[in-house]
Chains A and B, each alone.
Chain A
Amino acid sequence: MPSDRRLEREAAKRRKHRRGQAIAAASSVVVLGGLAALILTSPGWPEVRETFFNWEVFKDSFPDVLRAFWLDVKLFVLIELAVLAAGLVVALVRIARSPALFPLRLLAIAFVDLFRGIPTILLIFLIGFGVPALRLQGVPTDPVVLGAIALGLSYSAYVAEVYRAGVNSVHRGQRDAALAVGLTETQAMRHVILPQAVRRVAPPLLNDFVALQKDVALISILGPLEAFREAQIIESQLFNFTPLVAAALLYLAITIPTARIVDRMGGPEGAVR
């Protein structure tokens, strides 16, 4: 039988909880309702509704945009896999202490500085138009491939730095312990440090992939018919922006679930929420 003091405490807790819920509901109605009212009563709303949220246009254009979106999906899956591997290689070269790797280490630093420092859209332009102009034998000229390479280079530079931060965050006692049981530096990295580092940086890595999932649209400047480009083409034929909204919804359909996974992984255990 719970004591009166305990019942009283629980009742107070419930009251507090209900009050919190009421405040949240009221404030949501005020803020969201206010925003909706602001937009719906704006002088241009009827035209905006017609040109951005036209249901007929949406229905007609959605299948085409969805079909084009398949290229985005294929591209980011492939680029993500390549970036995971390439970023790791660049990070490991940068971390390695072997004197034999000195020139590679310089290259890795230059790689990160260069590809992280150029705006992605500019990089896609330079590689997409510059590489074919070389007219080298055996070098790809397909804009899809070149765009993917440019994006991959840019994201590999970011991801390499994420990995490196992860490796540096593993306590040095772990390396000591690995060496003390007789592992080589390489084994210590592979069996002890990297597994911990990768676990730690999984959320920021996924976060970069949310960014990549939508940056795939940048490849459209080279011409490939991915979702954004397809939507733009329909838009210019119908003078209606609804296809672009359809494309936006498709990007959201993959970025939001990824973002929720990042949230689920959360911070380190015991982090203040």
Chain B
Amino acid sequence: MSAPGDAVLEIQGVTKAFGEREVLRGVDLSVREHEAVALIGASGSGKSTLLRCIDLLEDVDDGDVFLDGETITDPEVDTVAVRRRLGLVFQAYNLFPHMTALENVMLGSRRAHGAPRAEAEERGRALLARFGLAGREDDQPDNLSGGQQQRVAIARAFAGRPRAMLLDEVTSALDPELVGEVLEAVRDLKGEGMTMLIATHEMSFARQVADEVAFLHEGRIVEQGPPAQVLEEPQRPETRQFLSRLLEAGRA
């Protein structure tokens, strides 16, 4: 395997099976600095699994993932140190329900990055304000709307100053009218130059934010390129079929 070039994230031949079910069958993908790559594909195509493999929440079976050239899928790697360099946002937010919004955002800074309380709090407040949540610092997640919860989750993942962020269908659990505010937060990250891998169902969003779109189909990336190319003039029949189904469902 060649050493990765200037990519922040480089995925080479990653495979992952759960029992008999092969979810990833050799994924190759790279995300360069300041680049946002949208990962599209049908439900169950392995998008979440790929993101979880990158964040080392799942072990890959074969292949490797490189972060800034370092093999993070090496069995001997310090998984905790790697996760501290990445930010993962979950589809179902996974906020800590026993903590306030502010405490959710502060936890990583305090416990994982060893920031003093005052500093973590200052950063937490600033991040919540930045994502439109000023005044909601002391609310428990239960008292927040889905869109607000997901923005807290984005702030939480961003608080650790990650090298790259992994967004897993961050709008799929939301009521339609709440999708916009979360996408706005992601656009904000993109404006800041955050390197991102974004699993998404929102084709219009992929078109607006992503520099590259990668189509994951049956465990492999079958097509990758600029959004205009992949979404408007797909080369592969699988991609065309996927996009026309989305169009029929009114989601493209």
Contact = CB atoms under 8 A, between A and B. Distances in A.
Interface of A: 173-174, 176-184, 187, 191-192, 195-196, 199
Contacts of B98: 195-196, 199
B90 A173 contact: yes
A182 B92 contact: no
A192 B159 CA distance: 17
B88 A173 contact: no
Interface of B: 52, 55, 57, 80, 83-84, 86-88, 90, 92, 94-98, 107-108, 111-113, 156-157, 159-160
Nearest to A192: B96
Given A173-B90, A173-B92, A176-B57, A181 B97 contact: no
Contacts of A191: 107, 111
A173 B83 contact: no
Contact of A196 (B83, B97, B112): B97
Contacts of B95: 177
Tell which of A173, A174, A181, A191 has the most Cβ of chain B within 10 Å.
Answer: A181
Q: Which 9 A-B pairs have the closest CB atoms?
A: A182-B112, A181-B108, A182-B84, A177-B94, A180-B88, A173-B94, A195-B98, A182-B83, A187-B111
A184 B80 contact: yes
Given A176-B57, A179-B83, A181-B157, 4 more contacts: A173-B90, A182-B84, A183-B80, A199-B98
Contacts, number: 59
Nearest to B86: A180
A179 B57 contact: yes
A191 B92 CA distance: 20
B111 A183 contact: yes
Contacts of A176: 52, 57, 90, 94
27 contacts: A173-B90, A174-B94, A176-B94, A177-B90, A177-B95, A178-B96, A178-B107, A179-B57, A179-B83, A180-B57, A180-B90, A180-B157, A181-B107, A181-B156, A181-B157, A182-B80, A182-B111, A182-B112, A182-B113, A183-B107, A183-B108, A183-B111, A184-B80, A187-B111, A187-B112, A192-B107, A196-B97
Contacts of B86: 180
B110 to A, nearest CB: 9
